[in-house]
Amino acid sequence: MDRVFIHSLEVLCTIGVYEWEKTIKQKLVFDLELAFDNRPAASSDDIHLALDYAVLSQRVCEFANNNTFELIETMAERAAAMILTEFNVAGVELTLSKPGAVPMAANVGVKIVRGQF
């Protein structure tokens, strides 16, 4: 299966367990790998047969902005489910990072794989 990727998709959203986090916007970074058969689009050179990564990126940003979760684990799980439901992909590998969440680390996050690759 082919993979379409979107790396370093930054979103400002409300996320966090602590009360002070629920009053501010914080940066999350999405890295996505999507299982998608590119052969029909490639053979016909037809954009309508391709996975539109611009539309998918916009949808992920809207999803993160319109939903509030305490855990990045929940955000990752729900975003992956949304992608699998709304886009014609066989699988999604989603890495979600919360830079600055741990002062001693450059980055922390979760990686999940859902669907088929």
Q: Which of 22, 27, 98, 111 is catalytic?
A: 98
Measure CA 105 to chain center.
21
What is the DSSP annotation of 2-16? -EEEEEEEEEEE-B-
- Hey, what are 7's tokens? 């790396």
- Asked whether the beta carbons of 28 and 98 are under 8 A apart, the reply is yes
- Hey, what are 97's tokens? 């990072």
For the chain, the helix, strand and coil percentages under 3-state DSSP, each to the nearest 5: 35, 30, 30
- Is residue 98 part of the annotated active site? The answer reads yes
* Residues forming the active site: 98
